[in-house]
Amino acid sequence: MATAAREPALKGGEQQKRGSNEVPSGMEAEARLLEQLTSIPLISKATLRPARVGKGVQITTDVAT
């Protein structure tokens, strides 16, 4: 999985507020991407791995038959 910067822990009952143009953390972005990929009927499984060279992730998908 891609490395994500850790955000400070929220104290009891607090909710994190984001502006509409704020970028989600790496882990949130990965979860959102996996959810979007697996919502495509043709894709039965998707995995993300760190890219071998440079930054980014390698996406592997299984096609439903």
| Residue 1 lies inside a defined structural domain of this protein | no
Mean pLDDT across 27-43? 87
50 domain-assigned: yes
Number of separate domains in the chain = 1
Give the DSSP H or E segment for 34.
helix 26-38
Q: Is the pLDDT of residue 21 over 50?
A: yes
What's the domain range around 44? 26-63
> How far is residue 19 from each of residues 12, 16, 22, 39, measured CA to CA in Å?
21, 10, 5, 26
As a whole-number percent, the residues of the chain with pLDDT over 70 amount to: 65
Confidence at 3, pLDDT banded by 50, 70, 90: very low
Mean pLDDT of all residues belonging to the chain: 74
Confirm whether 52 is domain-assigned: yes
Lowest-pLDDT range of 10-14, 31-35, 53-57: 10-14
